[in-house]
Structure 1
Amino acid sequence: MKLNNLNDLFIMELKDLYNAENQIMKALPKMMEKCSSDMLRTAFENHMRETETQIDRLEQIFKMLGEKPTGEKCEAMEGIIREAQEMMKEKAEPHVMDAALIASAQRVEHYEIAGYGTVCAYAKQLGMTDAARLLHMTLEEEKKTDIKLTDLAERTINVQAER
């Protein structure tokens, strides 16, 4: 894809995020299988439902733009997920595995926060208020998920993993 202007870059970044979200949808069930903590499993289940909504929002934006959501592969998310998959192969005590799963999930969240923050800024600059609103909703959800994971880790999972 040739990048002639900010709009082209915006579309490319949206496609990257769309691919990333779809990769996450495939990875979350595997992460849930490795959980020993019911609270962590529930957090992943909730995030999976949230991710479905986020994918729907991206599809709405692509429809508004008259674009197809395909074409970009998110190499960064592929790498983050590959690292998580490698970690899940380790022989770890259940609570230690849960702590490692949170670390992997937060890497995902931090990537998404950076990506959604960027496309929010682009949408605002381009005067795409509806797209900006939808993207901002997703950005806020990603931030809340990160905070919830931190809270779960600090209150419970990391404490149990330390023992």
Structure 2
Amino acid sequence: MNTASGAAVKTLDDLFLRELEEIHDAEHRIGAMLVKMATASRCWKMKRAILNHLLETERHVMKLEQVFGCFELPVTRRTSKAIVGLVHAGAEIEADFGESPAINAALVSFLQKIEHFEIAGYTSLLQWAQLLGNPDAAELLEDILDEEQTAAQTWCEMARSTSNEEALGKQGWEDSEDSEEDEGIRRSSSVAT
């Protein structure tokens, strides 16, 4: 089907592929960013949560590659300009609050923004995979969406339980200067590119 100007009309298939390519790119960029966030955190509970989410992110990349396969499409990436912007904002937050007791609250706020972006993308992809009649892809996307929603809840609980209080100076700020542990965090990502 063509428009009056002769250009091909884009369909839901085209939209699905575009969003899939962008979320695939986003997951790669988020993986690299999570390594930096774990290093910046001054709370071991938060570092562990971020590193656990890094492992989930790596699994998300693999599941997305399977989704491409469900549609018999080559695995590709399209630059996610939204995530590029969010990652840039995260670097600014880290630079501005890196030596502050507010760093953990700043990181949690940033991570919540990332999760909401991902939840929106996966919700759309899931609905579209269902409409396009691909239950295998829909199941993979639903698994990822469930994990992203759980991660969002984790960050909310972390904000309520510790990081916001730390930012006020009402709880002990766990300043971690253990460079060996931080070096291990920097090496822990296979997604980081």
**TMscore range, shorter length:** over 0.9
Q: Is the 8 A contact 1:35 1:94 kept in 2?
A: no
Equivalent residue, structure 1, for 2:180 = none
- C-alpha deviation, 1:95, in angstroms: 3.0
Equivalent residue, structure 1, for 2:19 = 13
The residue type equivalent to 1:97 in the other structure is I
TM-score (norm 2): 0.80
Higher helix share: 1
* Aligned mate of 2:34, from 22, 28, 52: 28
Give the aligned CA root-mean-square deviation in angstroms: 1.3
- C-alpha deviation, 1:4, in angstroms: 2.1
Q: Is the 8 A contact 1:25 1:51 kept in 2?
A: yes
Structure with bigger gyration radius: 2
Count of aligned residue pairs for this structure pair: 162
- C-alpha deviation, 1:69, in angstroms: 2.6
* Aligned mate of 2:95, from 74, 89, 113: 89
Larger relative contact order, structure 1 or 2 (CA cutoff 8 Å, min sep 6):
2
Q: Does 1:162 align with 2:173?
A: no
Q: Does 1:80 align with 2:81?
A: no
Q: Does 1:108 align with 2:111?
A: no
The residue type equivalent to 1:95 in the other structure is P
Describe the superposition over 1:64-117 as per-residue Cα deviations: whole angstroms up to 9, x where unpaired.
Answer: 222223241100001001000011111455430010011111111000000000
For 1:71 and 1:36, locate their aligned partners in 2 and report how far apart those are by CA, in whole Å: 33
Tell me, what secondary structure is at the counterpart of 2:96? Answer: coil
Equivalent residue, structure 1, for 2:188 = none
- C-alpha deviation, 1:7, in angstroms: 1.0
Describe the superposition over 1:4-53 as per-residue Cα deviations: whole angstroms up to 9, x where unpaired.
Answer: 21111111110010000000011111111111000110010000000011
TM-score (norm 1): 0.95
Query: Structure 2: which 5+ residue stretches go unaligned?
Result: 1-7, 170-193
Equivalent residue, structure 2, for 1:122 = 128
Query: Structure 1: which 5+ residue stretches go unaligned?
Result: none
